[in-house]
């Protein structure tokens, strides 16, 4: 990773909120059209430029893959399997930390995907985020373009249409709500999502750690060990958190009331069971379909 050899001064973090040249970070014409005015993109880019300089910021964004191993993955007990699968594909850990996503963060991260989401889907995603922290990991790859590689390895959100060795299949993702693994699709999303996940100082600290991160670190290294332990300790009963059936019937309004009640259960295992049960049956899009 070229930026790892750059001089990193964590005190020099200020930069004006300018947008990057998006054609250098993504091939998506949709992102070219909208990301220039996205405050997350501009804030993420400013912090990268303030830390690394403009050239270093472009290098970091294009030579970094970002994955958030979500709380539903931790709760299901699949975290280790996914970390192993990523390592098997040649990815190198640069930095990692636990990250809790709040209600606003859920909407900020998946704003494009949730444009037509139902209230039920939003509540279930909020409930997933409330299970505890997920694990945010920054990766490099000797073959380059790690963000794009991670997204291909992740697999789609439809269990029927993805490879059996994809990250989501290895995780045990069983539907389009409990997808368990999130990745940034390209360099533009790396810039944006760093700002979604972390406030300024924490973001700068993680990027600086990634730039200092030695190559060749694996799952047992000091880079992953403490944050993995932290997310596991926040969900100590994960092995017992199996899904349980939920009672549905009497119309969508009544089901919505039951859903809200079930998601307020004080016991984490019961909440996780409710999330899994309801995720199998709620309408996901406002046109009544699930995509």
Task: Provide CB contacts within 8 A for 28, sequence distance 6+.
Answer: 185, 186, 188
The answer to whether residue 23 is domain-embedded is no
Q: Please give the pLDDT value at position 208.
A: 95
Instruction: Write out the DSSP string of 120-137.
Output: HHHHHHHHHHTT--EEEE
Asked if 225 and 163 sit in the same domain, the reply is yes
Total domains present in the chain: 2
**Would you give per-residue pLDDT tens digits along the chain (291 residues)?**
544 444 555 555 566 789 999 999 999 999 999 999 999 999 999 999 999 999 999 999 999 999 999 999 999 999 999 999 999 999 999 999 999 999 999 999 999 999 999 999 999 999 999 999 999 999 999 999 999 999 999 999 999 989 999 999 999 999 999 999 999 999 999 999 999 999 999 999 999 999 987 444 444 468 999 999 999 998 755 444 455 556 667 799 999 999 999 999 998 888 999 999 999 999 988 875 554
Cα gap 279→175, rounded to integer Å = 7
Asked if 138 and 212 sit in the same domain, the reply is yes
Asked if 259 and 232 sit in the same domain, the reply is no
Predicted structure pTM score: 0.90
Query: Using CA of residue 170, residue 275, residue 66, residue 21, what is the dihedral sign?
Result: positive
The answer to whether residue 82 is domain-embedded is yes
- H or E segment at 264? none
Please tell me the total number of residues recorded for the chain in this structure.
291
CATH number, domain containing residue 142 = 3.30.70.141
Phi and psi for 177 in degrees, rounded to 5? -95, -45
Query: 151-184 burial, b for 16+ CB within 10 Å, e for fewer?
Result: bebbbebebeebeeebbbbbbbbbbbbbbbbbbb
Cα gap 37→54, rounded to integer Å = 18
Cα gap 65→83, rounded to integer Å = 14
Contact assessment for residue 82 and residue 69, using Cβ atoms and an 8 Å cutoff: yes
> By residue range, what is the domain housing residue 269?
239-279
The answer to whether residue 25 is domain-embedded is no
Asked if 104 and 211 sit in the same domain, the reply is yes
The answer to whether residue 32 is domain-embedded is no
Q: Please give the pLDDT value at position 244.
A: 53
Asked if 170 and 254 sit in the same domain, the reply is no
Asked if 216 and 244 sit in the same domain, the reply is no
Q: Please give the pLDDT value at position 287.
A: 72
Mapped onto helix, strand or coil, the DSSP state of residue 72 is: helix
Asked if 229 and 245 sit in the same domain, the reply is no
Asked if 220 and 260 sit in the same domain, the reply is no
Q: Please give the pLDDT value at position 221.
A: 61
């Amino acid at each position: 990773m070229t930026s790892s050899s750059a001089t990193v001064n964590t005190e020099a973090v200020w930069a004006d909120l300018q947008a990057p040249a998006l054609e250098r970070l993504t091939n998506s014409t949709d992102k070219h059209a909208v990301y220039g005015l996205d405050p997350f993109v501009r804030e993420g880019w400013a912090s990268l430029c303030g830390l690394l300089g403009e050239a270093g910021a472009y290098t970091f964004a294009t030579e970094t893959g970002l994955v958030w191993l979500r709380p539903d993955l931790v709760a299901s007990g699949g975290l280790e399997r996914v970390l192993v699968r990523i390592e098997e594909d040649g990815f190198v850990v640069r930095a990692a930390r636990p990250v809790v996503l709040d209600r606003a963060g859920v909407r900020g991260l998946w704003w494009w995907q949730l444009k037509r989401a139902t209230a039920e889907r939003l509540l279930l995603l909020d409930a997933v985020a409330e299970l505890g922290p997920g694990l945010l990991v920054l990766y490099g790859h000797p073959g380059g373009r790690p963000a794009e590689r991670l997204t291909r390895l992740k697999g789609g959100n439809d269990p029927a249409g993805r490879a059996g060795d994809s990250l989501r299949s290895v995780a045990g993702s069983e539907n389009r709500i409990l997808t368990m693994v999130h990745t940034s699709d390209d360099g533009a999303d790396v810039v944006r999502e760093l700002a979604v996940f972390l406030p300024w100082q924490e973001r700068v600290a993680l990027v600086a750690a990634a730039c200092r991160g030695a190559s060749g670190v694996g799952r047992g290294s000091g880079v992953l060990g403490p944050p993995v332990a932290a997310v596991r300790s926040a969900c100590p009963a994960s092995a017992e958190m199996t899904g349980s059936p939920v009672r549905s019937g009497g119309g969508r309004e009544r089901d919505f009331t039951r859903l809200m009640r079930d998601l307020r259960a004080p016991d984490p295992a019961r909440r996780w069971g409710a999330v899994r049960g309801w995720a199998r049956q709620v309408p996901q899009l406002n046109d009544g379909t699930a995509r």
